[in-house]
A = this chain, B = another copy of it.
Amino acid sequence: MEFFSLVEPYLRQVNSLLEEQLLTGNELIENVAQYLLVASGKRLRPALVLLAGQFGTELSAARLQKLIEVATAVEMIHMATLVHDDIIDDAVMRRGMPAVRTQFNNTIAVLAGDFLFALAFRLFSSAGDLAIVDIAAKVVHVMCVGEIYQNMDHGQVATEEAYWRRIEAKTGFFLETSCRLGALATGVPERVETLLGQYGHHIGLAYQVVDDLLDWLANPETLGKAVGEDVAAGVYTLPIIYALRQERVGSQVQKILSGPHPENQVEELRHLLEKSGALQYAKTQAGHHIDKALEMCRQLPSGPAQRALEELAEFVLAREY
């Protein structure tokens, strides 16, 4: 697998830098940091930064250092939004562990998120390129606006169009930006940067659709959260939006959602989503975006990094956790 050989060694450097930055000697920060480092995600965003950074000329030591710093800062932004989202969603679990706000409290979660944002911007700024700071600030801005819209839609079913807008703000733009940041940190031709950005955008949308789908399909033990959590939290994703449009099933789904306790009828809902083809529809939509991402890959300069991006695209569609 090209992916692992090209990403793993650098990802280890990202992890070391994360530890170095977060384990500061302050007991409270260290507790939260240890927790965040253990409750680790897939490091998808730094992986994109690292791969997108391999399309320029050979990486000098200085450029590699800059790439590692930018990839680390991107993961910090991601961690910060997760910690703050847990307050927003009143989440109890995150990645199979108690959420920061459950483990500690809202105060610590607010502070830990702000701390991560600040550290991230110090790293972005130390990369020595204003264009990097600029798109990093833009991505935080866009995600906030997206979260605000999601919050306004809370407990309401949005249109499919609004769903796509929401996941673009939440994930599509962040993954697009991760790719662009890798390109900026290493200086690749503009045409390549644009292709990488579009690749990230489509990967991001597919990733989020699959995430929303896994909320209905996944084994709680591998995903680390219960099935149907989105509906229980008042967030309606693509399968629900699709099912509601179907003639007979739609009114049954509607009935459950407008009832007093939809969270207790997750099994019935899942059955209705399957019957209406809603889960298949979401999978097909994710597949379309993966196809588009692969199309971008084919136009990129060929080589190991390009093949690794193809592998990553396949993984995003096939993943079960």
Contacts and interface: CB of A to CB of B under 8 A. Distances in A.
Q: For chain A, what secondary structure do more than half of its interface residues adopt (helix, strand, loop), or is it mixed?
A: helix
Interface stretch (A135-143, A220-228, A256-264, A295-303): A135-143
Number of copies: 2
Given A138-B122, A140-B117, A28 B130 contact: no
A97 interface: no
Contacts of A151: 28, 107-108, 111
Contacts of A133: 121, 124-125, 130, 133
B114 A145 contact: no
A84 B108 contact: no
Nearest to A87: B110
B152 A28 contact: yes
A121 B137 contact: yes
A88 interface: yes
A291 interface: no
A152 B129 CA distance: 36
Contact of A121 (B81, B88, B140, B152): B140
A138 B115 CA distance: 10
A148 B26 contact: yes
Interface of A: 24, 26-29, 81, 84, 87-88, 106-108, 110-111, 113-115, 117-119, 121-122, 124-126, 128-130, 133-134, 136-138, 140-141, 144-145, 147-149, 151-152
Contacts of A117: 114, 117, 140
Nearest to A119: B141
B145 A115 contact: yes
Given A29-B148, A121-B121, A152-B28, A115 B141 contact: yes
Contacts of A27: 152
A314 to B, nearest CB: 33
A129 B81 CA distance: 26
A81 B147 CA distance: 19
A129 B129 CA distance: 9
Given A133-B133, A138-B122, A88 B107 contact: yes
Nearest to A123: B137
A261 to B, nearest CB: 22
Nearest to A129: B130
A118 B126 CA distance: 18
B114 A125 contact: no
Contact of A111 (B28, B111, B129, B147): B147
Name the residue among A29, A111, A140, A152 with the largest chain B CB count within 10 angstroms.
A111
Contacts of A106: 87, 106
